[in-house]
Amino acid sequence: MGVQMEELTWATVIEANGMIVAEMLAERLKAANIPAQAIQESVGSTFAFTGGPLGTVYVRVPVQYLDEARELLDVEEPADEDDIVVCPECESDIELDDTEWEQGWFVCPVCNTRVSLDDLF
């Protein structure tokens, strides 16, 4: 694939219960030319025991493919926790839209501070 993974910002399309389901969903996305990966959250280094093959697995795509991927997998646009960031100035929960993710910054509607997403992650 010609995509340079390291430079992409990945966003969660859907959480799957287990790696097999997640891989299947990721394959469906890849079949539609959407770069996708299935990522299992690991807790420290004890992931084999805390997560195991039945843990929650996140299917991720580059953020610019998010809408397309959701549509493809028929995922409803949620009040997605992944879209919510905490303003470092006033600690409000702010829900970002796609434009803000893509541009890499937002202006906090509560305290009017311009926040760079790079500072948050």
Residues near Zn ion, by CB under 5 A: 87, 89-90, 108, 110-111
Q: Contact 14/25 with Cβ under 8 angstroms?
A: yes
Min dist CB 88 to Zn ion, Å, is 8
Alpha helices in 1-121 (DSSP H): 19-31, 47-50, 66-73, 98-103
Closest to Zn ion by CB, 52 vs 88, is: 88
Min dist CB 111 to Zn ion, Å, is 3
Closest CA to 97 of 121, 116, 79: 79
Closest to Zn ion by CB, 20 vs 120, is: 120
Min dist CB 95 to Zn ion, Å, is 13
